[in-house]
Amino acid sequence: MVRAVVLDVGETLIRDDRGWALWADWLGVPRHTLSALVGAVVAQGRDNADALRLIRPGIDIPAERAAMAAAGIEEHLEESDLYPDVRPALAALRATGTRVCVAGNQTRRAGAMLRALGLPVDAIATSGEWGVAKPDPRFFARVLDLAQAEPHEVVYVGDHPANDVAPARAAGLRTAHLRRGPWGHLWAASPESASADWHIESLHDLPGIVAP
C-alpha cells in the first residue's frame, strides 16, 4: 500500500531553463554554450554545476549567487516554469487520499517560491532548509519524516537515477523514475534507473500507481 508520494523538484516539477539562462547571462556566455556544457557533464555522469566550473574554473557558486542577488538578479519561479502535468497530477494524487510532498535539492529561497505557487501538496522542503542534500542518506531520512509513513509505503519520484532512484531505494523507499529532462532521458537505461519500481513518462501515471 502506498500512503505517500514525495517528488523531486528540478525537471520533475519545474523546468530548469530559466535558471541556466540567468547563469549564462551572468557569466557572459551564450545561453546555448552553457546548455551544451550542461549536456556534456550530464553525459559524463557529473554534477551539472560542473558546467559552471568549466566556464569559470574555481568559481564559488554560493558567492556568485549572492552577488547576483545583490545585483537584483535572483532565482524566481512562475506558473510557466511548471510542467503542464504538475497541478492536475498532484491534485489527482491527493484525491486518492495519498499524502503528497515535495523534497528536492533546492535553495531555501526556492522552497519559499514553491510554497508561493500554491501547489496541491501537503508539504514542501528543500535541501537548503534541511542542511543536507541528495544523495546523502540523511536526506531520505528527512523525506520519511515529511512523508509520515514507513519506507515501503512511500514512493519517491525523480528524474535523476543516481540522485533520486538509487539512494531512495537504499533507504527502503519505493521509487518511480521519470523520463524527463537531461538526466531522465540520457540515463533512462542506466542500472540505477532499471532498479526503479516504476518507470513513468508523465506525472499523470502516478495516480494509477497508488490506486491501481
* pLDDT tens, position by position, 156-174: 999 999 999 999 999 999 9
Cell 508520494 found at = 5
Q: How far is CA 3 from CA 8, 59, 207, in A?
A: 17, 42, 12
Q: Could you identify the residue written with the cell 556568485?
A: 64
- Look at residue 132 in the predicted model and tell me its pLDDT: 96
Say which range, 38-42, 89-93, 102-106, has the weakest mean pLDDT. 38-42
Where b means 16+ CB within 10 Å and e means fewer, 43-59 reads: eeeeebeebbeebeeee
pLDDT, mean over the chain:
95
| HEC letters along the chain | CCCEEEECCECCCECCHHHHHHHHHHHCCCHHHHHHHHHHHHHCCCCCCHHHHHHCCCCCHHHHHHHHHHCCCCCCCCHHHECCCHHHHHHHHHHCCCEEEEEECCCHHHHHHHHHCCCCCCEEEEHHHHCCCCCCHHHHHHHHHHHCCCHHHEEEEECCHHHHHHHHHHCCCEEEEECCHHHHHHCCCCHHHHCCCEEECCHHHHHHHHCC
Residue ranges and CATH numbers for the domains of the chain are 4-15+79-210 (3.40.50.1000), 17-70 (no CATH)
Using alpha carbons, select from 192, 173, 200 the residue that is nearest to residue 5. Answer: 173
pLDDT of amino acid 212? 65
How confident is the model over 71-90, as pLDDT tens digits?
A: 998 878 999 999 999 999 99
Q: pTM of whole model > 0.75? A: yes
Structure confidence at residue 211 (pLDDT): 80
pLDDT tens digits, one per residue of 180-200? 999 999 999 999 999 999 999
